Structure 1
Amino acid sequence: MLNLVTALLAAVQSPAAPPQATQLPPPVPAIPAPVPPAVEVDTRPHVALKTDLGTITVRIEDKRAPITAANFLRYVDTKRMDGFKFYRSTKSWGPASQLIQAGNRGDAGKNFPPIAHEPTTATGLTNCKGALSMARLNPGDATTDFFLLLSDIKGFDADAPGGDGAGFAVFGEIVAGADVAAAIFNAPISPTAGEGVMVGQILDPHVTIQTARRVPAPAGAEAGCVVKAG
């Protein structure tokens, strides 16, 4: 009897036999979540020109036209552009050559020295509708005056057939407020003010740039047209 009890206790205390191994399927690797494409941040400067008729925001091509861009931004950052005037509209040229012109129409002491000319053949920019271009009489004499184009004027490009080989230096474009630019273009004109080709193009009254300040890039701003394709 004692031997039977001892045998039973030994059976109870002995380790259980391991369960029979079963083959499990290999683990399924985790699928990584898709990485969203990187959002390219536009680091080009933007400037809001607050005028009597509303605000125009321009994007400055400081990498492609660094001399002309730096000149414009110097007037903005020193607040010397405050009080400059939009004074010209080329309505008399017809629909193919529409622009408005602005600059210092007061104290010439506000002018910085003239800047070197940056032709479109060097910058890769073009005088398309919306372009911001530097006004000049001769290459290298530009100071404060600039154009905003309301139509393509390819004749302003340096390589335009029949041009002077220098053209007008593009350094930015309108990204917001094109309707304000159009309102300035369509503002009243003096029938007598101006000289030569400027007669019939002088705004009366002038439209004042109340302030010119750097601003963040507007959301959803389009790529624009001033950078030549290719």
Structure 2
Amino acid sequence: MTLKRFAIFAPLLALATPALAQEAEGQATPPPATTQVVLETTMGDIVIALETQRAPITAANFLRYVEEDRFDGTVFYRAMQLDWGEQPNGLIQGGAQNDWDRILDPIAHEPTSETGVLHTRGAISMAMGEPGTANGDFSILLRDLPQLNANPDAEDPASRPGFAAFGHVVSGMDVVEAIHAAPIDPEKGEGWMLGQMLADPVVIVDARVVGDRP
């Protein structure tokens, strides 16, 4: 996952006209559809609600990896630790790691400016080099990181697309924090990822859909 230069961005989410009409009539807008997935790891379970309605391309890609057992036996291998803000801060990363027997074709990029799924605490987001290259690796955030959201008005073109968040943890943030706190091997990793790799990667034993898909 390539983390671009951090730039503070406060997105403005426009309300659609139908939603305003419903509110005017005193009707509640139904919540967007989600599908829950459990990642059973050697350190405990993480349950994630995937935004199948707001981020359909990215959520469908993740669900395909789950339903085809492509995540089973993969690992959380990285814990990026940030020393600013409320602690613990940073993210954990896991997935297929370019294993050709597991990865599928890259998917189209769904920016947060279009989906409205933001990089808040517990968000799950696709790892990628450039927009349109994401496939089978993902990150889970420990804290809000709005710097990863799309910023279409940024002066730096590299900051405009951001990363594609597509769900959030609904249970198991204690497991996410435990993985993040696991020992790091200072000799593992290359370039700017040196010192961010777990000494003993945490295995995803099983990834499965919870209940019936909407």
Q: TM-score range by the shorter chain?
A: 0.7 to 0.9
Corresponding residue of 2:124:
132
Q: Determine which structure has greater relative contact order: mean sequence separation of CA pairs < 8 Å that are 6+ residues apart, divided by chain length.
A: 2
- 1:89 equivalent in alignment to 2:84: no
AA aligned opposite 1:73: L
Normalised by the length of structure 1, the TM-score is 0.73
AA aligned opposite 1:136: M
Q: Alpha-carbon deviations, 1:163-184, whole Å to 9, x = none?
A: 6100010100000000000000
Tell which structure's C-alpha radius of gyration is larger.
1
Equivalent residue runs for 1:179-190 within 5 Å: 179-190=174-185
CA contact (8 A) 2:33 2:52 kept: no
Report the number of matched residues: 179
Corresponding residue of 1:26:
none
Alpha-carbon shift at residue 103 of structure 1 (Å): 1.2
CA contact (8 A) 2:122 2:142 kept: yes
CA contact (8 A) 1:48 1:56 kept: yes
CA contact (8 A) 1:95 1:151 kept: no
> Identity rate of aligned residues, in percent?
46
Report the 3-state secondary structure (helix = DSSP H, G, I; strand = E; otherwise coil) of the residue aligned with 1:128: coil
Corresponding residue of 2:24:
none
Corresponding residue of 1:61:
51
Structure 1: state its 5+ residue gaps.
1-37, 218-230
Corresponding residue of 2:203:
208
Q: Alpha-carbon deviations, 1:101-128, whole Å to 9, x = none?
A: 0111373221100000000011012101
- 1:141 equivalent in alignment to 2:133: yes
Task: State the alpha-carbon separation in 2 of the partners of residues 98 and 55 from structure 1.
Answer: 20
CA contact (8 A) 2:97 2:137 kept: no
Task: State the alpha-carbon separation in 2 of the partners of residues 105 and 144 from structure 1.
Answer: 7
Moved more, 208-217 or 145-154: 208-217
Task: State the alpha-carbon separation in 2 of the partners of residues 210 and 66 from structure 1.
Answer: 26
Corresponding residue of 2:148:
156
Pick one of 59, 63, 78 that aligns with 1:73: 63
Task: State the alpha-carbon separation in 1 of the partners of residues 99 and 119 from structure 2.
Answer: 29
Alpha-carbon shift at residue 42 of structure 1 (Å): 7.9
Structure 2: state its 5+ residue gaps.
1-27
Task: State the alpha-carbon separation in 2 of the partners of residues 115 and 42 from structure 1.
Answer: 22
- Aligned-residue CA RMSD in angstroms? 2.2
Moved more, 185-194 or 106-115: 106-115
Normalised by the length of structure 2, the TM-score is 0.78
Report the 3-state secondary structure (helix = DSSP H, G, I; strand = E; otherwise coil) of the residue aligned with 2:167: strand
